[in-house]
Amino acid sequence: MKNKYFERIYNGIIKENPTFVIMLGMCPTLATTTSAINGFGMGIATTAVLIFSNLLIAALRNIIPEKVRIPAYIVVIASLVTIVELLMQAYVRPLYNTLGIYIPLIVVNCIIMGRAEAYAAKHSALLSACDGIGMGLGFTCALTIIGFCRELVGAGSVFGYQIIPDDFHVGIFVMAPGAFLVLACLTALQNKLKAPSATNLSKAEKAKKKLAGEPAGCTGECGSCMLHAEEIVDKKIELKKADCPKTEAAAKEGGNR
């Protein structure tokens, strides 16, 4: 936990898992997880783009003007996605055919834009790459697990090997409703097991955060915090004032003198 690079990876996989905790990138999550291998392929493709987009954007963060940063990010991301798409077309043709339109759609994946905006734009290149690895692996794990469950119940197979006879397949699970059901169940499970995550703090931690004026359940780097950063700072100052009125009064007195 002491190593901040390792901390980013742990944060991506468990604490701020993009799928089960911050619920980003729902479109590929729901659409491409009809089987474990599809989910895994989608996850890996996204991870590759995420690592390099984070790396490049963090490296360019001082050059990109504030006002046009979103178009600039999109150019970076889109180039990377095109590379990944062409590589997949060349070397993993079956997966490329199954995922179809969802590969070019990685460009508009919320996770990638979100990490670029919330993390890579403010941190060093190496840290951002680690953040990309963590987030990407978290996404890949989540998609593979969802795909595994859907494939097992809906098509009766595990990574393509059929283990349940045809009559007992619950077909709905390989269709759209099954994606929602499995995602909801896994998210509920994650909440129930109290896996330590951004939205799942202990009561004591929540109270502590409340006292500090931060929104409960967040490391202070989520989109919500970024939007309300000024308010939070104001609140903190107010709280500090409330905590130590004497010192302030003393300071004022000092100023008067």
Partner 1 sequence: MALNEDKKLYHVSSSPHVRSNVTTRKIMTDVAIAMLPATALGIYRFGLHALLTVVLTVAAAVISEYLYEYLMKRPITISDGSAVVTGMILALNMPPQIPYWIPMLGSVFAIVVVKQLYGGIGQNFMNPALAARCFLLISFSKAMTDFSASFPAGADAVSGATPLAVLKAGGEASLSDLFFGNIPGTIGEISVLMLLIGAAYLLIRGVISIRIPAVYILTVAVFMGLFGGRGFDLYYIACEVCAGGLIFGAFFMATDYVTTPITPLGQIIFAVAIGLLTGVFRVFGASAEGVSYAIIIGNIIAPLIERATVPTPFGKGRYAEITKKLMNENKGGGR
Q: Looking at 8-16, 17-25, 173-181, 209-217, which segment touches partner 1 (CB under 8 A)?
A: 173-181
Compare residues 48 and 149 and give the one whose CB is closer to partner 1: 149
Residue 172 sits in the site that holds partner 1 (CB under 8 A) = yes
User: Which residue carries 């901390």 as its tokens?
Assistant: 7
Residue 16 burial (CB count, 10 A): 24
Q: Looking at 72-80, 100-108, 142-150, 168-176, which segment touches partner 1 (CB under 8 A)?
A: 168-176
Q: Looking at 80-88, 174-182, 226-234, 246-254, which segment touches partner 1 (CB under 8 A)?
A: 174-182
Q: Which helix (H) or strand (E) holds 158?
A: strand 157-158
Residue 189 sits in the site that holds partner 1 (CB under 8 A) = no
Tell me if 116 sits within 8 A of 221, measured CB to CB. Answer: no
Q: What are phi and psi of 15, to 5 degrees?
A: -70, -45
Residue 171 sits in the site that holds partner 1 (CB under 8 A) = yes
Q: Is residue 224 helix, strand or coil?
A: helix
Burial class (CB in 10 A: 0-12, 13-18, 19+), 213: middle
Compare residues 177 and 215 and give the one whose CB is closer to partner 1: 177
Residue type, 144: T
Residue 250 sits in the site that holds partner 1 (CB under 8 A) = no
Question: Of these, 26, 64, 74, 170, which contacts partner 1 (CB under 8 A)?
Answer: 170
Contacting partner 1 within 42-71 (CB under 8 A) = none
Residue 253 sits in the site that holds partner 1 (CB under 8 A) = no
Burial class (CB in 10 A: 0-12, 13-18, 19+), 255: exposed
Tokens at 179, concatenated? 């994606």
Residue 162 sits in the site that holds partner 1 (CB under 8 A) = no
End-to-end CA distance of the chain: 49
Residue 30 sits in the site that holds partner 1 (CB under 8 A) = no
CA–CA distances in Å: residue 112 to residues 80, 134, 160 = 11, 12, 29
Residue 175 sits in the site that holds partner 1 (CB under 8 A) = yes
Tell me if 16 sits within 8 A of 219, measured CB to CB. Answer: yes
Residue 180 sits in the site that holds partner 1 (CB under 8 A) = no
Minimum separation from the CB atom of position 181 to partner 1 (A): 7
Compare residues 23 and 181 and give the one whose CB is closer to partner 1: 181
Minimum separation from the CB atom of position 185 to partner 1 (A): 9
Minimum separation from the CB atom of position 172 to partner 1 (A): 4
Minimum separation from the CB atom of position 182 to partner 1 (A): 12
| Distance, CA of 57 to CA of 77 (rounded, Å) | 9
Residue 148 sits in the site that holds partner 1 (CB under 8 A) = no
Tell me if 7 sits within 8 A of 134, measured CB to CB. Answer: no
Instruction: Please give the residue ranges that form the binding site for partner 1 (CB under 8 A).
Output: 167, 169-173, 175, 177, 181
